[in-house]
Each structure stands twice: as structure tokens, then as C-alpha cells.
Amino acid sequence: MQVGSVGSDAREIARAGDFVRFDKVEKSYDGRTLVVRQLDLLVARGEFLTLLGPSGSGKTTTLMMLAGFETPTRGLITLEGRDITRVPPHKRGLGMVFQNYALFPHMSVRENLAFPLEVRGVSRAEIGERVTRALDMVRLGKLGDRRPGQLSGGQQQRIALARALVFEPKLVLMDEPLGALDKQLREHMQYEIKHLHERLGVTVVYVTHDQGEALTMSDRVAVFNDGRIQQIDRPRTIYEHPDTAFVAQFIGENNKVDGTVTALGVGEATVTTAAGQAIRAEAGPGLSLGGRALVSLRPERLSLAHGADAVANHFPGTVVETIYHGDHLRVRLEALGRDDFVVKAPVSGSEALVPGRTVDIGWRVADGRALPIETPA
């Protein structure tokens, strides 16, 4: 994919070799439609890769094929150069964390952690030692004798993590592991998983539909839609330089303004709306002069400062409503032919933003991204 074309991290990852490789993998359940199409994917050793996408986009199927619970209809999956396409899941040696924890309810926490070691024939003494170490790792050393049912959701998820890590797998798969937790706990666990990953150096493939989670935790994010990877890159690149309208739309909030490409320079394009307003923006891949394009504008990159002549784009807008969010103000405006144009403004100095007032919206060329409009296939 785009590996190697952007960013020093990505190049480093490419050099570390392909730890996991999907080679033209396809999956169909009914023999008519493909859930995963022509998937090529490299995962580097030690990497935290997130598969992000809406439900039905093929991300979970991809993870299940890697885990061995689903068999690819076509293509090849290799782990450290070894073909594992037909290897049964229990021989793959991968750790896995499930959304609903899947802790065995009839076993104590310690027995749960000992399970993967017991089936591997580890000696009793070593099991005890490693289980204790794993419990300490997730800071739940005192809860070893409890049953999973007696633990809170966050504690259960930490035990599930410890269980997936206790046998020191090289690769850990996580299937929406934080989906069942409340918002605050979820954020806390995101950092905890991230720090565990950094400390242990284990490779993680993580599936989520929560873009915030993907951005905060990952080394790289693969955005899935309709069975294909739309873009795979570092979180910052994905957020700031989306390749397709879908990625721009799925990750973060954005204002979409559509028009026709009237000028195309090096890395910059001019898109003219139906009303004749010309917007200068960073050019995404696949634009053509005279073609239809969409300009994606992040609300937090727009400014409502008066007389902002220093920036390349500024257009008048009429304030429709303002919503107070504590740390910022959400201003909805009528501008550029849309009535749902949103700007995140700082709270200080926002007294003038009363409905009906006309203000000047301004942004730099680099803050907008022009992307080709996808014609429905």
C-alpha cells in the first residue's frame, strides 16, 4: 500500500520486515459477494496496527482470518514467512482479546491465566510464577482467587489482556476489546493497553470502529470500507491528509464543500463551487482538472477572526446557532452554499457570535484538502 511513501516511521516499519503478510486475500461467505477484496497488508514486528472501519467493512473478518477462525477464500497469509493460511487457530500461538472478555466463568482469575500455560505443558511451578507476574502486570495481583463474575468490566478486561499475554505470544489480536466499557474507563484502558504494548514490544493488531481509539493508540491505522483498505498510514497522516472522501468523512468531523477543479498545481488545487466561490486547498491523490471534487475542512482548523487577510481562503458566513461545549464553542453557520457549516471557536472572545451576524471564515491552503468525489461503483 502506501507504506514507504510517507513519513519516516512508516519507512522504518517497512524495513523491519513483514512479520504478518496478507497476500491478495479474499473472503466470501455466500459465494456471491466478497466481504474482503484483494487485501494486501503488511504488519511489522512490534507494530500497533489498528483496523478501523464501519460495521460490515471487513475489518473483523480480516482479524478472524488472521486468528484462524475464518479461512480465506483466496490468497495467502504468512506469519514470519511461514504460510499459516490453513493452520488451525490453536497452533498459531496468537493471543486474542475479545469484546466480551470471554473469561471462563467456572474458573478463578488465576485458573483463567494458567489455562494457556497448562495446555502448553508448562511446569506447575513456572505457571504459578508467570501467572503472578501477569497479574502484577495489570495491577490486579490481589484478585487472583475471584471468579470473573465478581469483577468489574474494567478489571475483567485487564484479566483478559493478561491472559492473552501470559504465554508471551509474538502477536496479540484484539477484537473491539473496549467496546463494552463506559467512556471514561475506555479512555483509561486505551492508555493502559498502549503502555503495555510499548513495554512488552509485542505486535498488536487491533480492531475497532471507534476512530478516537484508533488515533490515540496506533502506530498505523488501516481504514476499511466495503472490504478494502481505503488508506493505511500513521494516525496523523490519516487525520490530516486523508486520501479519499470516505476516510475524511469517517475519521473526525469535517465540512464538505463540493465543486469543480478549476486549477491543479503541485500539491495544490483550486475548487470552484456552483456559486462560483473558488477555494484553494491541498490536493489529494486522483484529482483531475475539470473533474468533480470535494473540499474537506476540519472545524477546528477554521478561524472566525475578523479581517483575517493573512490566510488564502476567507468567505462570509452567517451564524445560525452556537452551542457551548465547555472547552470550545460550536458555531453553525450558513456559508459556501451550506447551512450546516461548523466551526469550532475558542470560548474567549466569542461574545460577538450571535445568530444572524455575518462573520468572516478563514483558513490556510494546508487546512483544506481537495479529494475526488467517488462515483458509486
Which residues contribute to the site for other proteins (CB under 8 A)?
A: 67, 69, 88-90, 93-96, 98, 100, 102-106, 115-116, 119-120, 163-164, 167, 173
Nearer to other proteins, 117 or 217 (CB): 117
DSSP state of 127: H
Min CB(119)–other proteins separation in Å: 4
Burial environment of residue 170 by CB neighbours within 10 A (0 to 12, 13 to 18, 19 or more):
middle
| Residue 90 CB neighbour total at 10 angstroms | 9
Interatomic CA distance for residues 203 and 229, integer angstroms: 20
> What number of CA atoms fall less than 13 Å from residue 282's CA on the CB side?
15
Q: Which is nearer to other proteins, 100 or 322 (CB)?
A: 100
CB nearer to other proteins: give 103 or 319.
Answer: 103
Distance CA(156)–CA(179), nearest Å, equals 13
CA-based angle 243:249:255, to the nearest 5?
105
Minimum CB–partner distance for residue 81 and other proteins (Å):
21
Alpha helices in 47-123 (DSSP H): 59-67, 109-118
- Specify the DSSP class assigned to residue 252: S
Contact 223, 238 (CB under 8 A): yes
- Cell numbers for 204, please give them: 498488536
State the minimum distance, in angstroms, from the CB of residue 43 to other proteins: 17
Nearer to other proteins, 206 or 239 (CB): 206
User: Which burial class, exposed, middle or buried, applies to 22 when counting CB atoms under 10 A from its CB (0-12, 13-18, 19+)?
Assistant: buried
Could you give the dihedral angle defined by the CA atoms of residues 357, 360, 363 and 368, in that order, rounded to the nearest 10 degrees?
Answer: 60
13: nearest Cα among 52, 41, 51: 41
CA distances from 102 to 110, 137, 230 (A): 15, 20, 31
Phi-psi region of 93 (alpha: psi -120 to 50; beta: other; left: phi over 0): left
